[in-house]
Amino acid sequence: MSDLLVARPYIDGRFQDAGTSRPVTSPFDGRKVGEVQEADTSHVQVAVEAARRAQREWAALPVLDRVDLLYRGLELCRQRNDMFAEMITKEVGKTIRESREEMVEYACDHFRRAAEDVLRYRGQVLPTTQERTSSKRILVTHRPAGVVGLVTPWNFPVDIAAITITYALAVGDTVVWKPSPYAPLSCAMFAELLDDAGFPAGVLNMLTGDAGVGQALVSHPDVDVVSFTGSTGVGATIARTAALKNLMLELGGNGPLVVLDDADLDRAVAATITGCYYLAGQCCTAAERILVHRSVADDFIERLVAATRALKVGDPLDEDTDMGPVCNAAVLDKCVAHIRQAEERGAKVVLGGNAEGLMHEPTVLTGVTPDMEIAREETFGPVAPVLTFGDDDEAVAVGNGTRYGLTAAVFTRDLARGWRFAERLDHGTVLVNETTNYWDQLAPFGGSKQSGSGRELATWMLDALTEIKQIVLELT
């Protein structure tokens, strides 16, 4: 499979020839990595029909047969981890250590977690309250929702797709997946992995392609659930298009990382480094705003600048590189524009600030205020914008003063104070003394406000991919 250097649409158990190819290049050095043949809207129709045809039979299989296939997928994924990691790094520019983490810690184990969770997914039996009779029982069960239309971003190209794919297949849904145009090769490798594991034709279909293919998929009348991870702007369009379908939306973030006056500053700095520069800042859970208590700000900034300067920036395939390029020109342009606008309004670049090609220096920006674009919007680049505050109420108000609500973090030596902060910050995840870029794969993940709707992972994922059905029994 290592020689799969042309990504093609995978429909009904076959990779299909889709005509002309375009090159896929590395964001680090522009070198050609492979090619992709893009699907068009006619492929969407064929793929959804294949998924629909396969779904009933797939759902009717004994659950243990589906689970056995998931374990076969796990085994193959573990064998191919290194190949996947290398391809992800070449296509999207994340460091090889980050790509390996994506595969080993997240993507592969979704097969196992989905297999375990589906076997323990339970319904309920309720007593009836209607008409004061005791002769009825209500069974609450879950049935597979049907065909899932999945649209994914490039920043965790295999992991994010694997969550929905493994849980959907576990529970008896079938999937039509449109990956990001920036990561077609690693995603085609994942489709091939499922084929090699023996999943039957039609249960997973993968359509390389652009936004038009995505639109055709999410608006298709025979798609029952839309699972989308990506930017808030595109999520809003998809929510309108897919209005009457079951919707899972995992969108952008603008997370605050709050450093209180009693925080362990070294710990807060380490968390800021991970929060701002992991994957060159291109995580939905990135620390997008660093809120520091005025009394410790100078000390914090000095330590942050020293730690940032120590990062090794360069070739993402080198084992010791800490930060590689950003993925594409749109990401770079937004990051540069946010920094420039902040500078125009009085913020100061105290480290970094420049870019060459798609390599943007890790940057520390001070004097940032809540009205600046960099504080209001998701920047998605390697920048630590530092804002200061005077008391806890101000920190909460600024932390919540955003249309996003994905992840927040607070640093304090006083756990009770941290707890109170966690209760007051209206984000889907609040971390006390841990970086915003920390996730647990068995905890509900998702955002409030315009960061999305619904929660993924574990049984929350199964809830999203099934329909609740009640069956009423009259016993007399």
Contact pattern for ligand NAD over residues 415 through 454, marking x by CB under 6 A: --------------------------------x----x--
Residue 75 vs 440, nearer CB to ligand NAD: 440
Q: Which stretch binds ligand NAD (CB under 6 A): 8-16, 77-85, 151-159, 268-276?
A: 151-159
Q: Is 214 in the site for ligand NAD (CB under 6 A)?
A: yes
Q: Are 193 and 76 in contact (CB under 8 A)?
A: yes
Pairing of strands 246-250, 225-229: parallel
- Of the listed 361, 377, 378, 456, which one is catalytic? 378
Is 377 an annotated catalytic residue?
no
Question: What distance lies between CA 327 and its chain's CA centroid?
Answer: 15
331 Rama sector, left if φ>0, alpha if ψ -120 to 50, beta otherwise: alpha
Contact pattern for ligand NAD over residues 365 through 404, marking x by CB under 6 A: -------------x-x------------------------
Is 288 an annotated catalytic residue?
no
Q: Which of 34, 181, 255, 399 binds ligand NAD (CB under 6 A)?
A: 181
Q: Is 154 in the site for ligand NAD (CB under 6 A)?
A: yes
Contact pattern for ligand NAD over residues 239 through 278, marking x by CB under 6 A: -----------xxxx-------------------------
Amino acid letter, residue 69: L
Q: Which of 9, 27, 144, 153 binds ligand NAD (CB under 6 A)?
A: 153
Residue 174 vs 407, nearer CB to ligand NAD: 407
Residue 253 vs 362, nearer CB to ligand NAD: 253
Q: Which of 54, 284, 383, 395 binds ligand NAD (CB under 6 A)?
A: 284
Q: Is 405 in the site for ligand NAD (CB under 6 A)?
A: no
Residue 213 vs 297, nearer CB to ligand NAD: 213
Q: Which stretch binds ligand NAD (CB under 6 A): 85-93, 223-231, 390-398, 431-439?
A: 223-231
Please give the backbone phi and psi of residue 426, each rounded to the nearest 5 degrees, phi first.
-95, 65
Q: Which stretch binds ligand NAD (CB under 6 A): 109-117, 141-149, 175-183, 432-440?
A: 175-183
Minimum Å gap between C-beta 455 and ligand NAD is 10
Q: Is 234 in the site for ligand NAD (CB under 6 A)?
A: yes
Q: Is 237 in the site for ligand NAD (CB under 6 A)?
A: yes
Q: Is 186 in the site for ligand NAD (CB under 6 A)?
A: no
- Of the listed 250, 288, 361, 456, which one is catalytic? 250
Minimum Å gap between C-beta 189 and ligand NAD is 17
Active centre residues (catalytic): 178, 250, 284, 378
Binding residues for ligand NAD, per CB under 6 A?
Answer: 151-155, 160, 178, 180-181, 210-211, 214-215, 218, 229-231, 234, 237-238, 250-253, 284, 378, 380, 406, 447, 452
